[in-house]
Amino acid sequence: MKKIAAALTAAMLALSSGTMFTASAEGDSDYSPSLYFKAYDSENYQILPNGTVYVRIDNTNDSVTSINAGVYIKDDMKQAGHIIAKWKCESEYITLDSLTDPITACGQSPYTEFKKVADIRLDADTENNIQSVSYALGMWLDPFTVAGNASDDYPLAVFDAVINADTPAGMYTIDFMTEETSNLCDILYKYGADIASKEFFPSGDQAPSLRINMSDRMLGDVNNDGVVDAVDATLTLRAYTRILSNMDSGLTLAEAAAADVDGDGAITGIDATLILRYYTYVLSYGDIDFITYLKTNK
């Protein structure tokens, strides 16, 4: 059945390829849906404005931290009609677990065609730390009907990323699968106003990773003296200068994770500036914590 659907899809794509130029003339040729992760709020970790999860690890006890997250499709034009999302974590310290359909997790599937739990296909490959969810009908003719106002009012699936108690500080990611040719994220969507369809393998900006920065110290406190101040900004700027000169940052993994305050996975002048700006705020009797400050002063 799956093969037949794939063959039909291929045939439809072949038939429709001639009309794609017409569609691009209509002005939406650059459009495509995208996938993204969203970590849900918890007392066990903090979420930076860009969605990166900051985990303050404590290797002195055996506590396990679980990050609860959802996988979403952003499809403003509501054109998607076949969705396969696959993601993996390559770190041995993080285990993907508790893959759950959105009906069980939050009472609603993102698409009205998928009303029952059994309509949504979940797969967990625990050996390779891979999870996936598929929204597929036997033969694709029309885009799915979005249940909420937007395609991402409800997740495609939710899962836990379980962080082992002995996880070293550092920067980790959970990644959509975008490289292996036989095991990709795959979305079919309508293309333009006509019947033409397009198969799309989201990658890069259209399938950003979930970033998890872990450190034994609070965000921004690079030297771990309990305060975020000009010294931390200076250390961050020095590391950035070294990186610019093609040298090692000179920071330990715990220092680097604490220095990446905007959570983009790199240490740059922006991180140093944010630390300095927060320090200036604290000097003028500001009393909110760094992450709340970052969220309210984006």
**Which stretch in 45-53, 175-183, 246-254, 271-279 sits in contact with Ca ion by CB under 5 A?**
271-279
CB atoms within 10 A of CB 96: 21
Q: Are 57 and 214 in contact (CB under 8 A)?
A: yes
How many residues contact Ca ion, by CB under 5 A?
Answer: 9
Question: Of the listed pieces 78-86, 155-163, 176-184, 254-262, which binds Ca ion according to CB under 5 A?
Answer: 254-262
Contact string 210-249 vs Ca ion (x = CB under 5 A): -----------x-x-x------x-----------------
Q: What is the DSSP string of 227-269?
A: ---HHHHHHHHHHHHHHHTTS-----HHHHHHH-TT-SSS--H
Q: How far is the CB of 277 from Ca ion (least distance, A)?
A: 14
Cβ proximity to Ca ion: between 78 and 295 the closer is 295
Specify the residue, 232 or 255, whose C-beta has the smaller distance to Ca ion: 232
Using rule CB under 5 A, residue 260 touches Ca ion: yes
Q: Is 160 in the site for Ca ion (CB under 5 A)?
A: no
In angstroms, what is the minimal distance from the CB of 264 to Ca ion? Answer: 4
Using CB under 5 A as the binding rule, whether residue 264 contacts Ca ion is answered as yes
Burial class for 289, CB neighbours closer than 10 Å (0-12, 13-18, 19+): middle
Binding segment for Ca ion (CB under 5 A), chosen from 77-85, 186-194, 233-241, 255-263, is 255-263
Please enumerate in sequence order all residues whose Cβ is within 8 A of that of 176, keeping only pairs 6 or more positions apart, or say none.
35, 85, 86, 87, 185, 202, 203, 207, 208, 209
Helix (H), strand (E) at residue 190: strand 186-190
At position 68, the amino acid (one-letter code) is: N
* Contacting residues for 146 by C-beta, under 8 A, at least 6 apart: 75, 78, 110, 111, 112, 153
Q: Does residue 96 contact residue 89 with C-beta atoms inside 8 Å?
A: yes
- 97 touches Ca ion (CB under 5 A): no
104: helix, strand or coil: helix
Residue number with CB closer to Ca ion (216 or 262):
262
| 262 scored as a contact of Ca ion (CB under 5 A) | yes
Closest CB to Ca ion among 152 and 221? 221
Q: Is 186 in the site for Ca ion (CB under 5 A)?
A: no
152 is an interface residue for Ca ion by CB under 5 A = no
Three-state DSSP at 286 gives coil
Find the shortest distance in angstroms from Cβ 224 to Ca ion: 7
For the beta carbon of residue 167, count every other beta carbon within 10 angstroms: 19
**Least distance to Ca ion, CB of residue 296, Å:** 19
Least distance in Å: CB of 261 to Ca ion?
7
Burial label for 179, CB within 10 Å (0-12, 13-18, 19+), is: exposed
> Measured from the CB atom, is 75 or 262 closer to Ca ion?
262
Query: What residues make contact with Ca ion under the rule CB under 5 A?
Result: 221, 223, 225, 232, 260, 262, 264, 266, 271
